[in-house]
Amino acid sequence: MECTIHWVPGSGMGMMAETGSGHVVTMDGAVEGGGRNLAPRPMELLLAGAGGCTAYDVVLILQRGRHRVTDCRVRLQAERASGDPKVFTRIHLHFIVSGQGVPAAAVERAIALSHEKYCSATIMLSKTAEVTTSYEITGVDDNSGQIAAQAPVA
């Protein structure tokens, strides 16, 4: 895996990242840090990457279990150290899984497998941050309409 970062002269602190797969992502800094606030911060992208990595795992694990998943969202909240280096110290991931008849036990198992075995990003970030998760399941019950279940995972 590789990535090339290019500072865009005249942009303040604007950066372009070209990934090994040929995609381009822009980044910028806050105005008070010399940026122009035109793109996500690098640490925001790191957090988004962790969310994408674990959501990918959870969806794939549930699909392989033949569960009818129609949507998966992950809301991440993070805290950073007050001094340099301002690493993440706490990250909470809240999963919102939608589908028909998706059992809570399957969602719990998928999240646990992602965080203990498969998601390189959250496993790596857990070296400096306390990573916690919770989830809710929304779906349609065949008899009465909308249902929802919610529980903390860890």
* Residue 140 pLDDT greater than 80, yes or no: no
The pLDDT tens digits for 79-114 are 999 999 999 999 999 999 999 999 999 999 999 999
The pLDDT tens digits for 47-63 are 999 999 999 999 999 99
pLDDT-based confidence at 146, cuts 50/70/90? very low
C-alpha separations of 107 from 16, 81, 140 in Å: 36, 31, 16
According to DSSP, the β-strands at 88-100 and 3-7 are unpaired
Q: Looking at the chain, which residues constitute the CATH 3.30.300.20 domain(s)? A: 42-152
Closest CA to 114 of 72, 78, 70, 60: 60
- The residue count for the chain: 154
What pTM value is reported for the model? 0.87
E strands of the chain, at which residues?
3-7, 15-19, 24-27, 68-80, 88-100, 130-141, 145-152
Overall fold of domain 42-152:
GMP Synthetase; Chain A, domain 3 (3.30.300)
